[in-house]
Structure 1
Amino acid sequence: MATAKKTATRKTAAKKTVSKAGTSSPKAKRAKPAPASTSAKEAAPQDAAVEAFIAKLESSQQDLVRALASLIAAEAPKASAYVKWGHPLWDQAGPFVLVKPAKAHVTVGFWRGGQMRDAENLLEGEGTGMKYVRIPSGQQPPTGLAGLVREAVALNEKHGDPLKR
């Protein structure tokens, strides 16, 4: 009888251990993503998600999307890169730019595009919110895109997350 009681106690302790680890509980809290880092080693997991996204694209679009990801990373080194809503986006004080491939072009969307100066008249779209640049597949990003990325980050730093109104 003492043996049965010890076995039951061990099973209960094992259940508590699993519950504390959060592996069996559907209500377990999800870990928050790590904050953006400027070191390439720490930023690799976020970049890996974007790279995995790029690897699934048609070969004709891979070079353009990879060039855009590199440009954005160079102009916004503190930004977090991840895949959300079916495409890569970059976030610094809120999302500021997305890259969305289509069959014949790649769209680069800016959440605060309507507030941007756009000296080279690259942005398309109406209103004060999202505006975008369409780049035909096989072409390189326009030279003025780097300035738009920097301005988008600056607007987010000044005004905060564009999704929180």
Structure 2
Amino acid sequence: MMRRSMAAPTPQVYLAGLDGWIARQAHSLREAVIAAAPLDESIKWGHLVYHSNGPVLLIRAEARRVLFGFWRGTLLRNIEPRLVPGGKYELATMTLLEDTLIDPAVVERLVKAAVRLNRTLGNPQRAAG
């Protein structure tokens, strides 16, 4: 469950506002993401967003799930088929529930591939516009 009602000013405050399994999933994802590649981390649109030549991925804690999403995620489904396409910029997200497992090695592969796509194709927000 989440305790926060307003947008958090920093990633640390965002994570501190989470409870229970939501907090565990979000912390675990964040650790794997940070270990995978040098990314700029911020709060944008009310959740964690990671950038490298534009937005790369997001972690969004909600009341009953954690979303793990990638700009250009449709191009990453060969690595993680649970990514579901939807939205602009080839966005695809994976829903994590309390019992959802994701191997940190898979997170690492996803992050590295997503960073590589931004390096090769440019900022996904600019490329689409």
Q: With the length of structure 2 as denominator, give the TM-score of the two structures.
A: 0.80
1:109 counterpart letter in structure 2: G
Which residue is 1:121 aligned to? 81
Match 1:85 to one of 33, 45, 49 = 45
More helix by share: 1
C-alpha deviation, 1:126, in angstroms? 4.4
Larger relative CO (CA 8 A, sep 6+): 1 or 2? 2
> Where does structure 1 lack aligned partners over 5 or more consecutive residues?
1-47
Aligned residues: 117
Give the Cα–Cα distance (whole angstroms) in 2 for the partners of residues 49 and 119 of structure 1: 30
- Verify the 8 A CA contact 2:74 2:84 in the aligned structure 1: no
Identical aligned residues as a percent? 26
> Where does structure 2 lack aligned partners over 5 or more consecutive residues?
1-8
C-alpha deviation, 1:71, in angstroms? 0.6
Kindly name which structure, 1 or 2, has the bigger radius of gyration based on alpha carbons.
1
More strand by share: 2
CA RMSD, 1 decimal: 2.1
- Verify the 8 A CA contact 1:61 1:138 in the aligned structure 2: no
Give the Cα–Cα distance (whole angstroms) in 2 for the partners of residues 115 and 140 of structure 1: 21
